[in-house]
C-alpha cells in the first residue's frame, strides 16, 4: 500500500494536485484541457518505491497525453483552416464565427446527401471527437468513488443523492406532522407540469457512462418519486438538474384575412402537400359547392373512387361549408426548385407542363390528400379561431409526412426480399 505520510513534500504536492484535479472533475463531470497539463507533471519523477504508479494509472496517463496532443494538433489545424476559409470567402479571419464557417462550407462543398452528419463539415475538434472519462482511481489504482464497482458510479451516485433527498423529505414530513400539519399546502410540492425529464442521451452525457433503456427508466421512476413527494419543493434544485422546459410543438399557422374578388365574393388561396404532389386550392365564398380540378373536371369526374372524394369533402363538412363555397384546385408534381413566385413568372404553357397528365390515373389518394390539406388551410380564413383549433385537433391541418421509401440494393423493393430458394 502507498502510504501518504512517506511522500516527500514536493511529490506530495504534485500528487495532491492530481487528486485535487480529479476530485474537481468528478464534481463538475466536464473535461478541460488546461487542467490536464497539470496532471501530466508527475510523470517526470524520481523512481521511488512509494511513488510507483499503478499500471492502470500509467495507461490512463499515456492515453490522456496522446489524446491531448492529438486534440491540440487538430485545434491548430482548425484555426489555420478557419483563416484559410476566411481568406477564400473574403471575410475578416478574426471575426469569423462558427455560423459563418457552416455557411461557407455549404456554399463551397454543396452536398445532396440525405443524412446531415454525412455532409462535409468543419467544426472545432472538441465538437467532433468524443470526450473521455477522467481517471477514477488514484496512483495505487484504488477507485475514488465507492460505487466504482457498480460499473456506473456516477449514475448510481445520482440515484443515491436523490434517495437521500427522499429520506430528508420524509423526516421533514414527520417533523411537520408532529407540529400538526397533516396535509401540506399544494405549493410545497414541486410542479412537474411545465417540464420534461431529460432523455437517455442527455443523462448519459451527464454521467459520462453508458446508460441503457432500463437504467433511464429506473432513473426517471426514482426522480418522479422524489418529485411527487408532498414537500418536493425543498428538493427543487436537484430536480431541476434533470428537467428541461416542455417544448410545445404547435407550429402556429398564420391565418390570413379573406380577400375579395371583383364581384365582391370572399376568397382565399392555400397550398398543401402530400408525397410528391402539391396542390393549390382556391376557395370562394357565396358558392354552390362547385368543384373544379386542374381547370377541367369536377371532383366526381376526377376521382372515380369514392374514398378520394370523401377525403376532399371532409374539411368542408367539418366546418359546415359543404355546398356553400366553390373550390378550385390545381395539382402539380412537386419540383423542389418550383416555388409560388416562379408560378407567377412562368407562362401558361409552362404551367400546363407542370400540371400532372390526366391520363395517369395513379396516385389519386395522394392527390386527394394534397387537396384536403390545402383546402383545410384555406378554410381557416373562413371560420373562427375556435373552429381552427378543432380542425387542428382533428388532424386536418397536420401534414402527412409519410413518403415513398427508396428501393434498397439487394432487395426487391424498400423492404421486400428476393425469394430465396435452397439449392
Which residues contact another protein (rule: CB under 8 A)?
288-289, 291, 298-301, 304, 306, 309-310, 313, 316-317, 322-323, 358-359, 361
Nearer to another protein, 273 or 326 (CB): 326
Nearer to another protein, 42 or 363 (CB): 363
Three cell numbers at 333? Answer: 408534381
- The least distance separating another protein from the CB of residue 272, rounded to whole angstroms, comes to 19
Nearer to another protein, 310 or 393 (CB): 310
- Angstrom CA distances, 345 to 282, 339, 351, 356, 385, stand at 19, 10, 10, 19, 34
- The least distance separating another protein from the CB of residue 229, rounded to whole angstroms, comes to 53
Q: How far apart are CA 144 and CA 155, in angstroms?
A: 15
Residues for the chain: how many in total?
423
**168 Cβ contact partners less than 8 Å away, ≥ 6 residues apart:** 234, 235
Nearer to another protein, 29 or 298 (CB): 298
- The least distance separating another protein from the CB of residue 255, rounded to whole angstroms, comes to 25
- The least distance separating another protein from the CB of residue 305, rounded to whole angstroms, comes to 11
Nearest C-alpha neighbor of 291 from the set 362, 188, 368: 368
- The least distance separating another protein from the CB of residue 307, rounded to whole angstroms, comes to 11
Nearer to another protein, 223 or 321 (CB): 321
Q: How far apart are CA 209 and CA 199, in angstroms?
A: 14
Q: Which phi and psi angles does 52 have, rounded to 5°? A: -55, 135
- The least distance separating another protein from the CB of residue 300, rounded to whole angstroms, comes to 3
Nearer to another protein, 128 or 322 (CB): 322
Amino acid at each position: 500500500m502507498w502510504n501518504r505520510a512517506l511522500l516527500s513534500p514536493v511529490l506530495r504536492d504534485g500528487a495532491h494536485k492530481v487528486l485535487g484535479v480529479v476530485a474537481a472533475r468528478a464534481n463538475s463531470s466536464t473535461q478541460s484541457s488546461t487542467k490536464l497539463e497539470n496532471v501530466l507533471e508527475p510523470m517526470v519523477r524520481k523512481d521511488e518505491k512509494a511513488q510507483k504508479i499503478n499500471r492502470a494509472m500509467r495507461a490512463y496517463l499515456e492515453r490522456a497525453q496522446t489524446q491531448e496532443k492529438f486534440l491540440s494538433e487538430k485545434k491548430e489545424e482548425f484555426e489555420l483552416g478557419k483563416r484559410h476559409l476566411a481568406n477564400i470567402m473574403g471575410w475578416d479571419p478574426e471575426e469569423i464565427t462558427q455560423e459563418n464557417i457552416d455557411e461557407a462550407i455549404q456554399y463551397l462543398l454543396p452536398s445532396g446527401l440525405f443524412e446531415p452528419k454525412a455532409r462535409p463539415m468543419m467544426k472545432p475538434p472538441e465538437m467532433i471527437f468524443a470526450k473521455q472519462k477522467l481517471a477514477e482511481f488514484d496512483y495505487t489504482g484504488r477507485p475514488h468513488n465507492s460505487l466504482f464497482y457498480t460499473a456506473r458510479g456516477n449514475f448510481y451516485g445520482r440515484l443515491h443523492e436523490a434517495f437521500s433527498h427522499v429520506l430528508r423529505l420524509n423526516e421533514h414530513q414527520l417533523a411537520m406532522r408532529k407540529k400538526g400539519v397533516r396535509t401540506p399546502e399544494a405549493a410545497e410540492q414541486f410542479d412537474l407540469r411545465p417540464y420534461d425529464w431529460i432523455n437517455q442521451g442527455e443523462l448519459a452525457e451527464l454521467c459520462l457512462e453508458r446508460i441503457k433503456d432500463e437504467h433511464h427508466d429506473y432513473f426517471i421512476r426514482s426522480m418522479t418519486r422524489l418529485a411527487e413527494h408532498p414537500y418536493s419543493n425543498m428538493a427543487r434544485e436537484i430536480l431541476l438538474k434533470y428537467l428541461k422546459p416542455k417544448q410545445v410543438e404547435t407550429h402556429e399557422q398564420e391565418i390570413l384575412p379573406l380577400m375579395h374578388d371583383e364581384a365582391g365574393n370572399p376568397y382565399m388561396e392555400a397550398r398543401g402537400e402530400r408525397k410528391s404532389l402539391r396542390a393549390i386550392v382556391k376557395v370562394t365564398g357565396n358558392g354552390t359547392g362547385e368543384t373544379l380540378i386542374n381547370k377541367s373536371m369536377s371532383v366526381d369526374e376526377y376521382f372515380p373512387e369514392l374514398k378520394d372524394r370523401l377525403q376532399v369533402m371532409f374539411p368542408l363538412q367539418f366546418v359546415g361549408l359543404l355546398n356553400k363555397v366553390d373550390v378550385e384546385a390545381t395539382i402539380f408534381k412537386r419540383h423542389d426548385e418550383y416555388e409560388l413566385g416562379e408560378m407567377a413568372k412562368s407562362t401558361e404553357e409552362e404551367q400546363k407542363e407542370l400540371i400532372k397528365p390526366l391520363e395517369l390515373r395513379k396516385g389519386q389518394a395522394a392527390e386527394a390528400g394534397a387537396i384536403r390539406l390545402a383546402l383545410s388551410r384555406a378554410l381557416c380564413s373562413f371560420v373562427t379561431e375556435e373552429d381552427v383549433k378543432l380542425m387542428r385537433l382533428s388532424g386536418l391541418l397536420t401534414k402527412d409526412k409519410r413518403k415513398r421509401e427508396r428501393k434498397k440494393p439487394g432487395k426487391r423493393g424498400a423492404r421486400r426480399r428476393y425469394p430465396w430458394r435452397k439449392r
